[in-house]
Amino acid sequence: MLPGKDGDKYIPYSKRSGNEAIVYFTRDLSAEGLRKIYARINQHITGKVAIKLHTGEPHGPNIIPRPWVKELITKDLPGAHIVETNAYYEGGRYTTDLHREAIKTNGWDFATVDIMDERGTALLPVKGGKWFTKMSVGVNMLNYDSLLALTHFKGHAMGGFGGSDKNIGIGCADGRIGKAMIHTTPGQPNQWDICEEEFMERMTESTKATIDHFGKNVAYINVMRNMSVSCDCEGVAAEPVVTPNVGILASLDILAVDQASVDLVYAMPENYHAALVERIESRHGHRQLSYMKELGMGNDKYMLIDIDNNDARISQAEAVKHVRPWEG
């Protein structure tokens, strides 16, 4: 079985085919901006709600601001639970006890945080995958009716970028079985031997298992703020942020929201986006997007709707026209 190719190559919008999804955009990086954009994609978020976000390693500097999430839950999603799974690597989130300490340290104790693999795992079917027929996830996922992927968009050491696909595919796979299925070839010593296109495909098949489970009751928000080339799993060891802040994107289409986020990075001036583009291309991260399309998970064409300006349809260049060099 061979992985796909060309994960290091960006496909311009003009070269894409198929239907257009809707992606909402705001420049308002605040609790109010988050609430406004959530209101555009909340129509199927019902019943018992899981909010999948990255709570971060202890003292991680770049995670989504806790006050934003607290206000969203308090005013728009009362009773919703933040959901996580334990980490695959040894660190501040490796065990449930350590993970709960990290959650407290990082200020997420204003809401119920469900570590979904605390009490075991469940297998979800992977429809149409090449690597898996089933994926192991935290068993508590089965307790929820709807999923909101609230993602800090940034770089990633293995995936090139971490968007909604990574947030769900790695973040819902349990810490011992599911994550090992994605990262490691059994019987050899390198925990991280699966990389580039094969890694993107395995991660994306994990994502597909989860979003197929929730069906229409899932929505996606990508927060393009404090975008280090490092994932939040690197905590205080993350590379310094050099990419400008952009805004918040939201959609009911996972491929569209991740593709739009990548497109806005590429639409910035070269001196603004060089580090993040290098990280995406060197890890062959574009295979996340092309494989989502092959699996029928969404559309890589979309209408970008500016909710700050009467829902005007805008170009990627217009969406990043306001960005300025990162000032720290």
CATH code of the domain occupying 13-319: 3.40.50
Q: Report the pLDDT value the prediction gives residue 125, as an integer from 0 to 100.
A: 98
Bridging pattern class, strands 146-152 and 49-52: parallel
The Cα–Cα gap between 7 and 5 comes to 6
Q: Report the pLDDT value the prediction gives residue 126, as an integer from 0 to 100.
A: 98
- Please check the confidence at residue 237 and state whether its pLDDT lies above 90: no
Whether the model clears a pTM of 0.85, i.e. scores above it, the answer is yes
What's the pLDDT tens digit per position in 42-69? 999 999 999 999 999 998 889 999 999 9
What's the pLDDT tens digit per position in 114-151? 999 999 999 999 999 999 999 999 999 999 999 999 99
What's the pLDDT tens digit per position in 267-277? 999 999 999 99
Q: Report the pLDDT value the prediction gives residue 1, as an integer from 0 to 100.
A: 82
Q: Report the pLDDT value the prediction gives residue 235, as an integer from 0 to 100.
A: 74
Buried b (16+ CB within 10 A) or exposed e, 18-38: eeebbbbbbbbbebebbbbbb
- Please check the confidence at residue 232 and state whether its pLDDT lies above 90: no
SS in 3 state form for the chain? CCCCCCCCCCCCHHHCCCCEEEEEEECCCCHHHHHHHHCCCCCCCCCCEEEECCCCCCCCCCCCCHHHHHHHHHHHCCCCEEEECCCCCCCCCCCHHHHHHHHHHCCCCCCCEEECCCCCEEEEECCCCCCCCEEEEEHHHHHCCEEEEEEECEEECCCEEECHHHHHHCCCECCCCHHHHHHCCCCCCCCCCCCHHHHHHHHHHHHHHHHHHHCCCEEEEEEECCCCCCCHHHHHHCCCCCCCCCEEEEECCHHHHHHHHHHHHHHCCHHHHHHHHHHHHHCCCHHHHHHHHHCCCCCCEEEEEECCCCCEEECHHHHCCCCCCCCC
Bridging pattern class, strands 301-306 and 49-52: unpaired
